[in-house]
Structure 1
Amino acid sequence: MKTVADALTCAVRMDSVRKTYGEGATAVHALDGVSVELRRGTFTAVMGPSGSGKSTFLHCAAGLDRPTSGRVILGETDLTGLSETKLTELRRERIGFVFQAYNLLDSLTVEQNIVLPLRLAQRPSDPRFLAEVVRSIDLHVPMNRRPSALSGGQRQRVAIARALVTRPDVMFLDEPTGALDSRTARQVLDALRHAVDLWGQTSLMVTHDPFAASYADSVLFLADGRIVDQLPRSAPERIAERMAQLGER
């Protein structure tokens, strides 16, 4: 039985989560009984071959998609029975998202993009914390500039700042460096790692890149909708070797 202490130290828990698309002979089991705990203040990477269930894993863990069966628990909140309205509120107030495509609004300035989640939640913006977030991820651009005038790496750092400014319980990242060159990707990953080390920001990142995964405290490997292996923080070469072994399955 889970204790109060477990709830306080566990940011996200998935209990026997299954996600099935379709029915009968054409059914696809994207997740097949996944059980895992993500501890608070840790950075976890999720890797696996194409079609292994990585995106479904992230979507279910973040409350973007409902499991067919099983439970997803954010802190002490069981997401299973929440209405769509409650899930929307929870995602807005307790979860941060960073995607490969940035999803910034060019009609807004950099600062307006960053604080947009706070405005939507009708929460005040703390100028001192905003400045601290911007400084911590090395976002050295004028706050009144539009995203279209920024480089890809700068835009992704704006997206990270937007995710961090709400002080989320968990930050979910879907291929955050997928559209960046290697030098810019390293800068973005440094920023993500710094957020974990500085604020204890719990983060879950789906990636295909062993170099990106090497920044995480642990790497989960998915295959056929199941967790088949886990590595503690490792060099890119070790992670790539394990991925190659999965490809030989």
Structure 2
Amino acid sequence: MTDVVRLDAVSKVYGKGRAAVAALREVTVGVPRGTFTAVMGPSGSGKSTFLHCAAGLDVPTSGSVRLSGTELSGMNETRLTELRRERIGFVFQMFNLVPALTVTENISLPLELAGARTDRAWLAEIIRRVGLEGRARHLPAQLSGGQQQRVALARALVTRPDVVFGDEPTGALDTMTARDVLGLLREVVSELGQTVVMVTHDPIAASYADKVLFLADGRIVDSVTSPTADGIARRMTGLGAWTR
């Protein structure tokens, strides 16, 4: 399978001299198209830095990051912003919805910002898939937390991105609601062929993925395919931490 995201020898160092901290160390990994990858590790392992570099939100100190073959290094911030808007979807722990916009308007916002035409059939399909048909005209304040995260997921999908990055996307949800959202992420991979990369500290959340990458001290130290929550929990215990 073709790698949608590819990191080659990526390092990220913050600060200089004795104050320098290496958040990533020579990370090389590919994320195949149409797969669900979870990223886990102890606090300070480099999970967030990995996501930020892979998504073009931060620039590596060295190494190469490619999105569907497009090299991100050397792009100025304007071009990176355009690339993120057009080819990457984001789902964060906080829903980041615009309070004054309806569900439909929040979902369509990336298209509006890009000056792109809204495909009404695709928009309706996305709203249906996330189970919000009866809520399309509601404002965020009229929705539960789980419903708001469904809006955020639909917004991430509406541009048909190359990849969706999730940063603790279920961290603010109760257990049952979190499982509903994880089920939706699994569905968009299995049924729509979407590519998802999710940072999480939760073994149950990670068990929805096809593959789990384990980070420690800025390096990928292990990976597991067809993961189970118990197996992930044991591996995390071996790494010595549970927190982000």
Secondary structure of the residue aligned to 1:33 is strand
**TM-score, normalising length: structure 2:** 0.97
Paired letter, 1:59:
H
- Provide the rounded CA distance (Å) in 1 between the counterparts of 2:64 and 2:215: 18
Q: Give the corresponding residue for 1:238.
A: 231
Q: Give the corresponding residue for 1:3.
A: none
CA deviation string 1:72-95 (max 9, x = no partner): 000120000111111000000000
- Say how many residue pairs are matched: 241
Q: Residue 139 of structure 1: CA displacement?
A: 2.5
**TM-score, normalising length: structure 1:** 0.95
Secondary structure of the residue aligned to 2:7 is strand
Q: Give the corresponding residue for 2:73.
A: 80
Determine if the alignment matches structure 1 residue 36 to structure 2 residue 29.
yes
Unaligned runs of 5+ in 1: 1-5
Choose which of 196, 203, 208 in structure 1 pairs with 2:189. Answer: 196
- Provide the rounded CA distance (Å) in 1 between the counterparts of 2:132 and 2:187: 13
Q: Residue 143 of structure 1: CA displacement?
A: 1.1
After superposing on structure 2, the runs of 4+ consecutive aligned residues of structure 1 that deviate more than 6 Å are none
- Provide the rounded CA distance (Å) in 1 between the counterparts of 2:111 and 2:163: 16
Determine if the alignment matches structure 1 residue 52 to structure 2 residue 48.
no
CA deviation string 1:174-221 (max 9, x = no partner): 000001011000100011110001111001000000000000000000
Choose which of 152, 157, 165 in structure 1 pairs with 2:150. Answer: 157
Unaligned runs of 5+ in 2: none
Choose which of 5, 8, 24 in structure 2 pairs with 1:15. Answer: 8
- Provide the rounded CA distance (Å) in 2 between the counterparts of 1:172 and 1:136: 19
Q: 1:138, 1:191 within 8 Å by CA — same for their partners in 2?
A: no
Coordinate RMSD, CA, aligned: 1.0
Paired letter, 1:36:
V
| 1:30-179 pair list within 5 angstroms | 30-179=23-172
Q: Residue 140 of structure 1: CA displacement?
A: 4.4
Secondary structure of the residue aligned to 2:220 is strand
- Provide the rounded CA distance (Å) in 2 between the counterparts of 1:121 and 1:83: 18
